[in-house]
């Protein structure tokens, strides 16, 4: 059976994102943005700009009939929401107006690009200067000896090798999970 094409009105999806979070007259305040995207708007926009400058895939193009394709905002919002909430690719379609297969493709490219773009700056072991700066920040906040805050998240591992089941059964809802740990300093939230 041939695939049915769905008119998603991607232009309206981009306009909704713009109006809700990035226009002069925002629908949602910055606190709502931070809660929904788990980061400040300036960090989000820095990532979107880095993506569109690094990889032409994240730039908006015009299709063969002259319609604008998905915007960088849409192509970055879909994977960020999927990662922030642990939701499926299909779940972002109704708001971002992006198909499931495109959302999966965006996610794969997004993750590999994040590593390539930000690895040397953020995704590395701290050097002695970083350690000193983080310790000073912690002390100034009343937490001497603290370098940052840690957050952990259980991600369900659906297709794990059955022989490994015992190693990944943490008692978390009785399913196999991988624990994602992240340590961040407060300067990422400013």
| pLDDT tens digits, one per residue of 123-165 | 777 789 888 888 888 888 888 887 766 677 777 777 767 776 6
Q: Does residue 156 sit within a domain?
A: yes
Residue 67 has pLDDT above 90, yes or no: no
Domain presence at residue 65: yes
114 and 132 together in one domain = no
For the chain, the straight-line distance linking the first and the last C-alpha, in angstroms and rounded, comes to 51
Residue-range definition of the domain harbouring residue 107: 10-118
Q: Do 90 and 183 belong together in one domain? A: no
Better pLDDT: 6 or 91 = 91
Separation of alpha carbons 39 and 128, rounded Å: 26
Has residue 75 been placed in a domain?
yes
Per-residue pLDDT band at 188 (split at 50, 70, 90): low
Does 81 have pLDDT greater than 80? yes
Residue 50 lies in a domain: yes
In a domain, 2, yes or no: no
Does residue 58 form part of some domain? yes
Q: 85, 118, 151: which is the final residue of a domain?
A: 118
CB count in 10 Å sphere of residue 91:
16
Q: pLDDT tens for residues 10-21?
A: 888 899 999 999
Is residue 179 situated within a structural domain?
A: yes
Q: Are residues 25 and 88 in the same domain?
A: yes
- Do 108 and 168 belong to one domain? no
Q: Is the pLDDT of residue 51 over 80?
A: yes
- Within this chain, do residues 151 and 173 fall inside the same structural domain, yes or no? yes
Contact (Cβ atoms closer than 8 angstroms) between residue 47 and residue 37: no
Do 23 and 97 lie in one domain? The reply is yes
Residues 55 and 105 reside in one and the same domain:
yes
- Check if the beta carbon of residue 152 is closer than 8 Å to that of residue 179: yes
Whether 113 and 27 share a structural domain: yes
Identify whether residues 90 and 151 lie together within a single domain. Answer: no
- The lowest-confidence range among 67-81, 89-103, 174-188 is 174-188
Domain count, the chain: 2
82 found inside a domain: yes
Whether residue 159 sits in one domain with residue 86: no
Cα 57 to Cα 74: distance, rounded to the nearest angstrom = 12
């Amino acid at each position: 059976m041939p695939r049915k094409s769905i008119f998603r009105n991607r232009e309206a999806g981009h306009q909704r994102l713009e109006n809700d979070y990035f226009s002069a007259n925002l629908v949602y305040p910055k606190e709502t943005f931070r809660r929904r995207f788990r980061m400040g708007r300036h960090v989000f926009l820095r990532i979107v700009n880095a993506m569109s400058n690094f990889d032409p895939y994240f730039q908006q193009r015009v299709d063969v009939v002259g319609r604008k394709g998905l915007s960088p905002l849409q192509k970055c919002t879909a994977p960020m929401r999927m990662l922030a909430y642990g939701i499926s690719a299909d779940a972002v379609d109704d708001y971002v107006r992006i198909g499931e297969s495109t959302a999966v493709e965006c996610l794969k490219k997004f993750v590999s690009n994040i590593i390539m773009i930000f690895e040397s700056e953020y995704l590395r072991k701290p050097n002695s200067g970083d350690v000193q700066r983080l310790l000073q920040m912690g002390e100034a906040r009343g937490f001497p000896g603290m370098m940052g805050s840690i957050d952990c998240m259980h991600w369900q591992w659906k297709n794990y090798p059955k022989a490994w089941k015992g190693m990944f059964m943490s008692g978390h809802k009785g399913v196999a999970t991988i624990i994602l740990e992240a340590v961040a300093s407060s300067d990422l939230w400013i």
